[in-house]
């Protein structure tokens, strides 16, 4: 089967990663979670004193940028790749609310985006990849054969994130999650470098009132049509 590049963009907690994993598994494609990469850099910044009360020491972080080594390692038991930061598995640490509160500020730094975009483009150079993030269809792979832009109401997304964090054992409040979702939406869509925006030729997919199975079936059927068209 002819392989294509699939770019999935959208706001936080819209289910991008869940859909991307499902598609990659079904198509036997490589899955790349670009959000995990930005979260890992954010975790490094937090661990090394470059984040203080929401303020990022950009100069300090950039001085250390070459020291940050990121790698995805496939976990056969879990069925997906986990993020390693400088040789350490940080998959759990990067999913916390504390990281979520700071990742948008780190991700808007031009040099950070440049480093990670280059890595992402290298990962997907041979096609057969499903990549999700904020600027995949607009910056990383503007010529992707299939571009999907996912959205849902802030309230729906906050509920999803709230349940996810509770399942991981974190003590959180729904109100804090909703505030974080809305703040990230604003920062992601208003930043100077690679703002979150729907690519002109992307299909928009609102899953506010849609189950995971229904969502996957609709997108998978469309994906097969795109693959057939690009033979």
Strand pairing class (51-52; 146-151): unpaired
Q: Is the pLDDT of residue 1 over 80?
A: no
State residue 75's pLDDT score.
85
Name the strand (E) or helix (H) holding 182.
helix 174-190
For tokens 């229904």, the residue is 214
Percent of the chain with pLDDT over 90: 81
153 is in an annotated binding site: no
pTM of the model: 0.89
118 is in an annotated binding site: no
Most confident of 62-71, 95-104, 184-193: 62-71
DSSP for residue 94: G
- Record the tokens describing residue 79, joined without a space: 């069925």
Nearest to 180 by CA among 90, 93, 83, 105: 105
pLDDT band at 73, cuts 50/70/90? very high
CB 206 within 8 A of CB 151: yes
Angle between helix 34-47 and 110-123 (nearest 10): 140
CB 12 within 8 A of CB 157: yes
74 is in an annotated binding site: no
Fold classified for 5-223: Rossmann fold (3.40.50)
Q: What is the pLDDT of residues 85-138, one digit of tens each?
A: 999 999 999 999 899 999 999 999 999 999 999 999 999 999 999 999 999 999
Q: What is the pLDDT of residues 140-171, one digit of tens each?
A: 999 999 999 999 999 999 999 999 999 989 88
67 is in an annotated binding site: no
Q: Is the pLDDT of residue 32 over 90?
A: yes
16 is in an annotated binding site: yes
State residue 210's pLDDT score.
86
Query: Cα separations (Å) of 117 from 112, 206, 219?
Result: 9, 26, 25
14 is in an annotated binding site: yes
CB 150 within 8 A of CB 205: yes
pLDDT: is 43 or 213 the higher one? 43
Q: What is the mean pLDDT of the chain?
A: 94
189 is in an annotated binding site: no
For tokens 């992601």, the residue is 188
SS3 assignment, position 88:
strand
Helix, strand, coil: what percent of the chain each, to 5? 50, 20, 30
State residue 54's pLDDT score.
81
């Amino acid at each position: 089967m002819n392989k294509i590049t699939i770019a999935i963009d959208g706001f936080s907690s819209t289910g991008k990663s869940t859909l991307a994993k499902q598609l990659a598994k079904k198509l036997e494609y490589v899955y790349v979670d670009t959000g995990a990469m930005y979260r890992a850099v954010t975790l490094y910044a937090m661990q090394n004193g470059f984040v203080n009360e929401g303020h990022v020491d950009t100069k300090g972080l950039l001085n250390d940028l070459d020291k940050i080594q990121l790698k995805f390692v496939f976990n056969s038991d879990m069925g997906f790749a986990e993020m390693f930061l400088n040789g350490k598995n940080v998959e759990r640490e990067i999913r916390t609310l504390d990281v979520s509160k700071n990742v948008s500020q780190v991700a808007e730094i031009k040099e950070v985006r440049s480093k990670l975009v280059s890595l992402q483009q290298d990962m997907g150079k041979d096609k057969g990849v499903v990549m999700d993030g904020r600027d995949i269809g607009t910056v990383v792979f503007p010529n992707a054969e299939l571009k999907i832009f996912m959205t849902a109401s802030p309230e729906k997304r906050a509920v999803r994130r709230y349940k996810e964090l509770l399942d991981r054992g974190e003590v959180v409040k729904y109100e804090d999650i909703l505030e974080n979702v809305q703040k990230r939406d604003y920062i992601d869509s208003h930043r100077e470098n690679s703002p979150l925006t729907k690519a002109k030729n992307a299909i928009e997919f609102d899953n506010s009132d849609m189950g995971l199975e229904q969502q996957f079936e609709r997108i998978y059927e469309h994906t097969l049509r795109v693959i057939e068209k690009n033979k």
